[in-house]
Amino acid sequence: MRFQMSIQFRISVAVLLGLVLSSLVGGVSLYEMSRIRGQIQEIAKTELPLTEILTQVENLHLQQALLLERAYRYGVSKQPATVSALHNQFAQTAGRMGQLLQEGRALALGAVTTTAATQARQTFQGIAQSLRVLAQNHEQLGQLVMETLVKIHGDAVAQTDHLFQRIESQELALITAQNQLKGQLASMLQESAQYAVYKEEQGIYLIGLLLGISVVVGLLFSWRISKEIIQPLTEAAQIADRISENQLDIETPKGQLPEMKRLFRAMTYMVTALKERQRLEQLLLISEKMSSIGRLTAGIAHEINNPLASASMGVQTLKTLLGESPSLDVSKRIDSIERNLDRAATIAQEMLVFSRSESSSLVPIDLQEQVEGALTLLSHKLKDVTVVQQWQQDMPEVCGDFVRLEQAFMNIMSNALDAMAEGGCMEIVGERDEEGAMVRITDHGQGIAPELLSRVFDPFFTTKEVGLGTGLGLSICYNTILEHRGSIEITSEVGVGSCVTVRLPVRQGDC
């Protein structure tokens, strides 16, 4: 339950982070676009009225030029009343022009304090300065025009030539100032448009960047979830399937998350427990089978020994009756009967040894000395075989029945030598492992087929030719090692050879 809640919590956090990041992207984008729109609206609030004011100022300037021209014409034609009316109109236009320029300057100065963009504030400040200069020029021009109109009205037209020259010069300066101001406004409009486009592109880039980061973070988080949660869960499901199919030869991964580590650790313990249970069940099954076969074998051996003893006595009686010089054919037949009786007696004796469970006299045993002693007894079979031994220096002693363990190792090595009838190499390795003292005997003979490997410890099973083995050697070895609380295993590959591994518990104190 805790594991499930932890996984759900991590997935919920991942989803929440994704939602928060997406909301952040959307919020930043909306804020940026809103800020851009606000700045453009602030600039437009000032630009449009200023453009309208300049247009009105230009129109008033044209009206003043027309009024001055008409006043000059009526002054020349001696119409003072008309000149006086034109003078009043000019005064009105001059006042209106001054008022417009004052309003424009106030707008520009107001924009300097309210506009957020630094560049726009600087531009508005320049426009306010230009409007101030323009107002001064219009004021100076108005004074000249008024002075000229006064002279025209006073019938002094001939004295106005130098005034008209000054008016033309002042108008030129005024037109220059107006054009400069129009250029500033046009430049500002263009800069505002470029600024808007730039900010829009910047916003798009920011959105793209944040979305890209979101995608990368999402992919990384998905990869991490897949690696640390989904993939281990898939492996756990596969391991569970193999365990359900009784395939216990598996290696569980370790995992990275604490929950996964606990899960795989529990699975490892379960596999180990199942292996141990399987091993114990197999040992129990073999033990029960050996016990049943032992009881049967003991009965058969006793039943065989009685007629064998009678037959042997009959052969001896027959040899006595025939005397010292029987015919050659009869002598051969009697010898053949005697050999077969001896063989039958040997088999019966082995059957009794297999079935007998004697109380053992346990003594400390050096496995290296015991194996080398068994090799000495088998020296007649080592003619074409090379023996390679490798023993751990601090090889521990075991407790056991010296004779029975020696017989067990002799049977194992005898089988190995029989498998290498044409010669070869037999390797003997002795060392200490986690389960105790271990002796591994390897031959490079013909090997055993996989379908026969599970039967090698069965009584009377042998891969040798008829007459060369009773099939009781490894069975006796198995019983002996089992009675010493040890284990014996065999692996083999056809054409490569076989390996028998014997493990015995290390001696703890006195035997």
Common-topology check for domains 255-356 and 360-504: no
Is it true that domain 255-356 has CATH number 1.10.287? yes
Beta-ladder partners of 76: none
- pTM of the predicted protein model: 0.40
> Which among 501, 484, 504 has a CA at the least distance from the CA of 492?
501
Find tokens 């606000």 and name the residue.
38
CA pair distance 51, 184, nearest whole angstrom? 11
Q: What's the CATH number for 2-223?
A: 1.20.58
CA pair distance 23, 319, nearest whole angstrom? 114
* Tens digits of pLDDT across the chain (511 residues): 444 445 555 555 655 665 666 667 666 666 766 666 666 666 666 666 777 777 777 777 777 677 666 766 666 556 666 657 766 777 777 777 778 777 777 777 776 676 656 666 676 677 777 777 777 777 776 676 676 666 665 555 555 556 666 666 666 667 676 677 777 666 666 666 666 666 667 667 776 776 777 777 767 777 777 677 777 777 777 777 777 777 767 676 666 667 777 777 777 778 778 877 777 677 666 666 666 666 666 666 666 777 777 777 777 777 777 766 666 667 777 777 777 777 777 776 666 665 555 555 788 999 999 999 889 888 888 888 999 999 998 899 999 988 888 888 988 998 898 888 788 899 999 999 887 899 999 999 888 888 888 778 777 667 665 445 556 778 878 888 888 889 999 999 998 999 999 999 998 877 7
Determine the Cα angle at 439 with ends 438 and 444, to 5°. Answer: 140
From residue 71, alpha-carbon distances to 153, 296, 303, 429 in Å are 8, 154, 164, 135
Cβ atoms of 423 and 417 closer than 8 Å:
no
Single-letter residue type at 81: A
Single-letter residue type at 85: A
Is it true that domain 360-504 has CATH number 3.40.449.10? no
- Name the residue ranges covered by the structural domains of the chain: 2-223, 255-356, 360-504
Q: Describe the strand order of the beta sheet including 424-433 as a list of residue ranges.
A: 385-391, 424-433, 436-443, 497-504, 487-493
